[in-house]
């Protein structure tokens, strides 16, 4: 009661209280020196999480806005792109490219699986004239809870000139991305996922190769013009009015990251994933993603035969105050998704598994109460020091 929810979504995530407090700082002039200090500080902090020396621009938008920026800044109508889709957000990235007139060679992988790099290898090998201007890929497919191997993809690209444009909206800050070391040209992410701040800002990193492509891009852009954003950033400003509370919140979230260290954050996220999967599997539930490609941000679980996923989520929300995500598009009402990224801890997962047991039992699925919790507890107890 009283606003109390276990918000187990793959974004927005719960926000740490000290970040919430930082959202309430007095507003400042976005053309003044305080803002210059702020934008420079948070840009440096975001680069730390990206592990990059590339430019990173912060936009007042959702993650989708960042994806649109990734397309319109580096591509033009008529450009051929290889779009690798493993789910609803991979589809969206391809759709945006199509919307701007790109010739999209889209490869769909079964939902719940990762990109098969051999397929990409064959595609690139067949592209003898090096016509692909870009490869579009989802780092973490929020719709299915599957994580793609960005390092492997970059290796397979080799010296093919195609840019790698990455939607890492729900990946960055959750699972390690070595932007520079892996040679990833453009990576998009958003505030309300691994960064644990409320929605409202997106981040886009741009490699020197991508900037070269920017010079050639003829796609129409004004709001999403990253060249303009870069010029303004050089004087400590943004081209349009920035979402200031998210930036003061981000400053605080980045302090948290630095205090804990990114290695800790990544280890904790894998820990939360493993607790979730162990608990759900012990109830006899089937995971959509194989362990080998399972996301550290979100776990998609098949609803048991004969039970609607929506009924599970409704009961979880109404009776147990646990908010889960549903399935999207062709997975609608077939899966439910447990988010475990951001400001979530082991006991939140334990409570979620406990609520899931009660929910399933009440919906007629045979559950031994406590069995999922026990499996989750065993994972919790097996790794120490992660809170």
Residues binding a second copy (CB under 8 A): 1-4, 6, 16-18, 24, 256, 260, 268, 319-322, 343, 345-348, 350-352, 354-355, 357-358, 361-362, 369-371, 373-374, 377-378, 380-381, 384, 387
CA atoms within 13 A on the CB side of 127: 21
Comparison of 230 and 317: residue with beta carbon closer to a second copy: 317
Q: Which is nearer to a second copy, 2 or 222 (CB)?
A: 2
In whole angstroms, give the CA distance from residue 374 to residue 383.
15
CB closer to a second copy out of 68 and 357: 357
Q: What's the min distance (Å) between Cβ of 350 and a second copy?
A: 5
Nearer to a second copy, 283 or 293 (CB): 283
Name the nearest CA neighbour of 293 among 277, 304, 281: 277
3-state SS, the chain, equals CCCCCEECCCCCCCCCHHHHHHHCCCCCCCCCHHHHHHHHHHHHHHHHHHCCCCEEEEECCCHHHHHHHHHHCCCCCCCEEEEEECCHHHHHHHHHHHHCCCEEEEEECCECECCCHHHHHHHHHHCCCCCEEEEEEECEECCCCEECCHHHHHHHHCCCCCEEEEECCCCECCECCCCCCCCCCEEEEECCCCCCCCCCCEEEEECHHHHHHHHHCCCCCCCCCHHHHHHHHHCCCCCCCCCHHHHHHHHHHHHHHHHHCHHHHHHHHHHHHHHHHHHHHHCCCCECCCHHHECCCEEEEECCCCCCHHHHHHHHHHHHCEECEECCHHHCCCEEEEECCCCCCHHHHHHHHHHHHHHHHHCCCCCCCCHHHHHHHHHHHHCCCCC
Q: Taking the complex as a whole, how short is the minimal distance between the CB of residue 18 and a second copy, in angstroms?
A: 6
CB of 26 to a second copy, least distance (A): 13
Of 359, 384, 210, residue with least CA distance to 280:
359
| Angle 93-98-102 from CA coordinates, rounded to 5° | 110
Closer CB to a second copy, 67 or 197, in the complex: 197
Smallest gap from Cβ 270 to a second copy, in A, equals 15
Q: Between 176 and 357, whose beta carbon lies closer to a second copy? A: 357
- At its nearest, how many Å lie between a second copy and the CB of residue 193? 16
How far apart are CB 214 and a second copy at their closest, in Å?
37
Q: What number of other Cβ atoms are within 10 A of residue 332's Cβ?
A: 11
The CB-of-3 to a second copy minimum distance in angstroms stands at: 5
Question: Least CB distance from residue 192 to a second copy, whole Å?
Answer: 16
Q: Which is nearer to a second copy, 216 or 374 (CB)?
A: 374
Residue 337 counted as an annotated binding residue: yes
**Looking at the DSSP assignment, which residues form a beta bridge with residue 299?**
338
Of residues 32 and 370, the one with the C-beta less far from a second copy: 370
Binding-site residues from annotation for substrate: 337
Binding-site residues from annotation: 337
């Amino acid at each position: 009661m009283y606003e109390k929810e276990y918000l187990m979504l793959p974004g927005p995530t719960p926000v740490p209280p000290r970040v919430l407090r930082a959202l309430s700082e007095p507003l400042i002039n976005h053309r003044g020196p305080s803002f210059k200090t702020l934008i420079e500080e948070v840009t440096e902090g975001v680069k730390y999480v990206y592990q990059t020396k590339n430019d990173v621009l912060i936009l007042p938008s959702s993650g989708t806005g960042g994806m649109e920026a990734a397309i319109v800044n580096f591509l033009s109508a008529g450009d051929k792109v290889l779009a690798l889709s493993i789910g609803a957000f991979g589809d969206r990235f391809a759709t945006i490219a199509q919307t701007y007139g790109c010739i999209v060679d889209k490869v769909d992988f079964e939902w719940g699986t990762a990109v098969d790099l051999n397929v990409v290898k064959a595609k690139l090998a067949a592209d003898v004239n090096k016509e692909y201007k870009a490869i579009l890929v989802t780092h973490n497919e929020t719709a299915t809870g599957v994580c793609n191997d960005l390092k492997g993809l970059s290796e397979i690209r080799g010296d093919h000139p195609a840019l790698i444009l990455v939607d890492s909206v729900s990946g960055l800050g959750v699972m390690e991305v070595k932007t520079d070391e892996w040679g990833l040209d453009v990576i998009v992410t958003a505030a309300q996922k691994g960064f644990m701040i409320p929605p409202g800002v997106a981040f886009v990193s741009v490699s020197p190769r991508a900037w070269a492509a920017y010079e050639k891009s003829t796609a129409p852009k004004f709001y999403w013009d990253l060249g303009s954003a870069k010029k303004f950033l050089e004087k400590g400003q943004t081209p349009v009015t920035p979402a200031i509370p998210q930036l003061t919140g981000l400053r605080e979230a980045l302090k948290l990251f630095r205090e804990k260290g990114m290695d800790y954050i990544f280890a904790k996220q894998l820990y939360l994933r493993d607790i979730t999967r162990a608990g759900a599997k012990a109830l006899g539930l089937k995971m959509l993603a194989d362990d080998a490609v399972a996301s550290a941000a979100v776990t998609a679980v098949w609803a048991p035969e004969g039970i609607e996923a929506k009924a599970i989520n409704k009961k979880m929300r109404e009776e147990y105050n646990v908010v889960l995500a549903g399935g999207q598009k062709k997975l609608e009402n077939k899966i439910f998704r447990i988010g475990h990224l951001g400001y979530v801890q082991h006991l939140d997962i334990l409570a979620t598994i406990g609520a899931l047991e009660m929910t399933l039992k009440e919906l007629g699925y045979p559950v031994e109460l406590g069995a999922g919790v026990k499996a989750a507890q065993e994972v919790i107890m097996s790794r120490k020091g992660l809170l």
